[in-house]
Amino acid sequence: MKFLIHSLVASVIVFSSTVTWSQTQCANLFAAPTVAEKVAALNLPVFQNTINGKAFPSILVNKNTYPQLQNILQKTLGIVVIHQTGHGNDHGMLRLGDFFIDRDLPGYRARGEINNTGISWASVADYVSYAQLTNLPYNRIEVLFDLSDAEYNTALAYQKMRRAGIVRPDFTFGTDTNDKLAPTRLAQGGEICFSFSCGSSTRSQIYEIQNNLRSLGVTDVDSFMQSAAVKAFLDKAKAKLLTANLTWELNADMMTTVPNADGVLQLMKIKDAAAKSVALDWVVGLSLTQDYQQLLQTLNVHNSSDFSNINSPRATGVLVYDANVNVADFLSIEYRSVGAFSTYAH
């Protein structure tokens, strides 16, 4: 039996102050079929919802369906809530392409963490196989966003920058184990899992990074960031991050070997060897955090421990990671996934 859904076309929010940025980021966004349109052609369990007058596909993701979805989800982002009733709380993370990206206590991640950041990357393919094998009871509910190539690269560069520890916000829920002596630690703009997944702390982080650049002698941060030397460096820095291996190439000193780095350091009049890496990290951290914040504003993502981001005009569907439900029960109007803070229902 084929469960077909209607084609969806999401509209784009363009803020008046960011028209140029949005036009660049969203160029040709919908030239290719959307996820919803692609899924409509597959023999997959899909329940069609209507929310606020808009049709949404609700797609079951498990070991059997993910192989058909993997290529479709390559250039997409998801805001994820994990229902953890056994813990008395739920958990937030995001998915970018093939990976779940999770934020928790630095140094306490069992797998997928490097540089003691508390950020772990986990293969979605490995997760769905493991969940099916162990009958994992914690469902993951994801609000899905289609991205243009430029938007995907914005998100990927930012997340790799964070994985490298180029900037290091505190984790402020429970015991904070972040290295207080790390030179690129941010004392403000701390995160918990939900604020990390939704990027709701980026404004405070940007403000602090700007102040750190001022403390290094950059009196006009905006003009400095728009200078030819900085722009040339940032182009190479972003390219390096986008192509870097997820493990051994990502670290807080990787910017010192980027072409055009010397031009930035000369502009800042920084000669001390120990200060060079930190100065370059603040420059990269500011640029990528600003880009990522702008992306999330364009997607209209807001801080949430439930699925209210589905109200964004850019949201295109819901992925339900449930290893235990059969297809008939998933397609039923009675389907529920119950968490500590929220319940997802068809």
Whole-structure pTM value: 0.89
Task: Give the model confidence (pLDDT) of 112-157 as tens digits.
Answer: 999 989 999 999 999 999 999 998 889 999 999 999 999 999 999 9
Task: Give the model confidence (pLDDT) of 234-249 as tens digits.
Answer: 999 999 999 999 999 9
Are 225 and 284 spatial neighbours (Cβ–Cβ below 8 Å)?
no
Task: Give the model confidence (pLDDT) of 316-345 as tens digits.
Answer: 999 999 999 999 999 999 999 999 999 999
- pLDDT confidence of residue 229: 97
b/e burial code for range 222-243 (CB count within 10 A of at least 16 → b): eebbeeebbeebbeebbebbee
Helix, strand, coil percentages (3-state) for the chain, rounded to 5, are: 40, 20, 40
Residue 173 is classified by DSSP as S
**Is pLDDT at 315 greater than 90 in this prediction?**
yes
Contacts 24+ apart (CB under 8 A), 111-115: 114/163, 114/247, 114/250, 115/163, 115/164, 115/165, 115/250, 115/251, 115/252
Query: In the structure encoding, which two tokens stand for residue 342, read together?
Result: 């929220």
Which residue did the predictor score with more confidence, 225 or 10? Answer: 225
- pLDDT confidence of residue 101: 97
- pLDDT confidence of residue 41: 84
- pLDDT confidence of residue 247: 94
Helices (H), the chain: 19-25, 35-40, 66-69, 124-134, 149-164, 193-198, 202-215, 221-225, 228-243, 261-268, 273-299, 327-331
Q: What is the C-alpha radius of gyration for the chain, rounded to an integer number of angstroms?
A: 21
Where exactly are the structural domains of the chain?
16-345
Give me the sheet containing 91-96, strands edge to edge: 46-51, 54-61, 315-321, 140-146, 76-82, 91-96, 99-103, 119-123
Q: How many CB atoms lie within 10 A of CB 82?
A: 20
Task: Give the model confidence (pLDDT) of 39-53 as tens digits.
Answer: 888 889 999 988 777
Mean pLDDT of the chain: 88
**Is pLDDT at 181 greater than 90 in this prediction?**
no
- pLDDT confidence of residue 27: 44
DSSP for 124-150 reads HHHHHHHHHHHT----EEEEEEE--HH
- pLDDT confidence of residue 176: 55
Task: Give the model confidence (pLDDT) of 72-101 as tens digits.
Answer: 999 999 999 999 987 889 999 999 999 999
